[in-house]
Structures are given as structure tokens and as C-alpha cells.
Structure 1
């Protein structure tokens, strides 16, 4: 009896840039973690956590979602989400690094980057709710 195999599902390549950038954020987050462990100075814990969660985990999941659901990944909302995420996160990481090292004057920049990151998440949510439809 011959077994019939189904072809692998076709995934869109629209999420590839998201996944590749997620890997970059993962390497940065791991690098910070290694440096903290080696120096036994854990001041940058919140920076490490933000880069790993907003950079690695959130970007990787968005990339996978946008690959499986290309109608969402190719939308204008996805582009807005991409830029909000990839501008706010590096600014947030740098500002948070400065803040935890005693530079209180950076608080307005940190707050603005946090608001931009939150807007990116809201845009992502709107994109998913508006562009994911039943087949």
C-alpha cells in the first residue's frame, strides 16, 4: 500500500526580516547576559530582559505570525509595527542602560521610547484583529 504524503504548507517569506532581526536581538541579549555573569554586575538586568522579550521573543513571534498570515504581514499596519518596534527598542535599551547607571536626565527619552513601543504593540494587535480572517 502506497502512502500518500501531503506537501508541506507554504509559508510566506514576509516574516523573514522579523525573524532575522529577532536573532540579532537574541545575540545582543545573550551577550549582555554573559557580560553580566562574567563581571558579576547585574545592573543591566532590565535591559537584558527588555531586549530578550521585546526584541527576541516578540519579534520572532511576529515574524512567524506574519509568515503564516501574509495578509497581515504585508499590511501597512505591519510596516508601522516594524518601524515603531525597531526604533523604540534600541532607544529604550540605551536610555534604560543610562538610567540604571545614574543618568536621571534620560527619563524623558526613556518614557518616549516606552510609549512608542507600546504603540507598536497596539498597532500589532490592531493588525491581527483586522487582517486575520477565517479561511
Structure 2
């Protein structure tokens, strides 16, 4: 369950960053970073919150090496990916290496998540979770 809680907490931080970016872009009337804003809200907030919920509901999946690899690779790659995207969106191509390395690491972490889900998310796991809540 620990991985699930960590994903949920970081998702909340990305939600704050995404909302803050949206408000800042609107105040400045400069929407060049809209793509990064959308990515932060989708792969930072929404996706990470869903990962967290899945790992909380299916603690067997959250307690695996795959979950730990997923967590660390995702959370190391996402900020660098977004930084590279922000530079690109404002016209600075000096940091393109960030966009050649870190999105690929993020995708690898998602592959680990998918493998983990197929291996460890089972109906019996959710039923035992629900019964514990009674």
C-alpha cells in the first residue's frame, strides 16, 4: 500500500503545479506552456492518482519490485521530461536531450506498471480489501 500512498501524495503536488501553471499562464496571457500544463495535469496528476488508487486497492501489486521500479523511474523522469518540454515550447532547443532520454524512461516505467497489473491485479485481491473495510 505504501507505493499507492506515495503516488497519491505526489499526484496531489502535480495537481497544484498544473493548476498554478494554468492560472499563471492566464494572468500573463502567455499560453506557450499549455502543452506542458496539459501533460503535468494528465501524466502528473491524473495518471499518478490512478496508479495510487490501483496500488491501494491491490496491495499485492503495490508491494512488488515492479511497483518500486515504476514509482522511481516515473518520478525521476517526469520532472526532467516536463522541463525539457517547457524549454522546447518557449523556443529553446538547447535541452532537447531531456526529450530524447526522459520520455523513454517514463514509458519504460509505464511498461513495468502494465506488467505489474497483469501479474498482480486479481479479483480475489480486491475482495479481500473490501472485506477488511467491513
TM-score clears 0.5: yes
Unpaired runs of at least 5, structure 1: 1-11
Query: Corresponding residue for 1:130?
Result: 119
Q: Distance in 1 between matches of 2:121 and 2:54?
A: 10
For the structure 1 residues 126 and 92, does the alpha-carbon distance in structure 2 shift closer, same or farther, using more than 3 Å as the test?
same
Q: Distance in 2 between matches of 1:84 and 1:46?
A: 22
**How much has 1:15 moved relative to structure 2?**
1.3
1:59 aligns with 2:74: no
Rg (Cα) greater in structure: 1
**How much has 1:84 moved relative to structure 2?**
1.1
Query: Corresponding residue for 2:102?
Result: 113
**How much has 1:132 moved relative to structure 2?**
1.6
**How much has 1:133 moved relative to structure 2?**
2.6
Give runs of aligned pairs for residues 1-135 of structure 1, distance below 5 A.
Answer: 12=1, 14-135=3-124
Which structure dedicates a bigger proportion of its chain to helix? 2
Runs of 4+ in 1 over 2 A off after TM superposition: none
User: What RMSD over aligned residues (CA atoms) do the two structures have, in Å?
Assistant: 1.1
| Matched length | 124
Query: Corresponding residue for 1:6?
Result: none
Normalising by the residue count of structure 2, what TM-score does the alignment of the two structures yield?
0.88
16-25 vs 104-113, greater mean Cα deviation: 104-113
Q: Deviations over 1:64-99 (max 9, x none)?
A: 000000000010000000011101110011111111
Normalising by the residue count of structure 1, what TM-score does the alignment of the two structures yield?
0.87
Q: Distance in 2 between matches of 1:85 and 1:28?
A: 17
